[in-house]
Amino acid sequence: MPKNTLFEDLREEVKYEEGRSPFFYRRAFKRLTQKYISRENKLILEERLDSTEDEENQDNNLLRRYPRTGHIYLFEYKTEEKNISVFDPFPLVYVIKFNSKEFTGCNLHLIHPSKRKYVIDNLKNNKITLPYNTISKYIISQVDGLLLDIAFNEWEVASNLPIENLISIKDGKVRDLPLFDVWKEKNKTFRKMLVGTRIYKSYGSKDENFKGT
């Protein structure tokens, strides 16, 4: 039987329209994303099994082993640190630069959804406005599995999925963090941004759906 991914189910369920509040879509998406709240890596597992026969509805996301600059990825991330104030085990990251061992990017989950829309809208126009306090380095060996490369036409959908699960780790013990507390703290320095032009690095094949305009 053909298998739909979350992005394909969302396309069938919700007609995405420009100008809608991010919270409209977060409410609309909430029912369909409940099964991902405690198991976000299911998004990637479903992409592996994506075999829908409806080509018009099929999403263009692809699984990658290594990141490239100018792409947005969802992935599962591990840490061995025993103390960390804010950690996202399944970040949504716009990549700024990369090498064979690590990459640097902005975790969009750390930005309040209304401000996240501003960041995404600018990225879609090849303009970088990324808050410094959301930019981190990620070690490729700590990525658990593959990276889900989000197609350009799915950026807004991915940024509105209510799957953030931020935690803190103290002495090896994990505690869930209230999202609005994290967003409020990050918002204090939101205007301190990395500003520039989006640089895009291609994989060379099956890449036409990721560059955008």
pLDDT tens digits for range 42-71:
777 777 666 555 555 567 888 888 999 999
What confidence score (pLDDT) does residue 1 get?
42
pTM exceeds 0.75, yes or no? yes
Which among 156, 128, 191, 122 is positioned nearest to 22, based on CA atoms? 156
What percentage of the chain exceeds 90 in pLDDT? 54
Q: Are 138 and 77 in contact (CB under 8 A)?
A: yes
CA 109 from centroid of its chain's CA atoms? 7
What confidence score (pLDDT) does residue 45 get?
72
pLDDT tens digits for range 114-141:
999 999 999 999 999 999 999 999 999 9
pLDDT tens digits for range 7-49:
777 766 666 666 677 667 767 666 666 666 666 667 777 776 6
What percentage of the chain exceeds 70 in pLDDT? 78
Q: What is the mean pLDDT of the chain?
A: 85
What are 107's two structure tokens?
């975790």
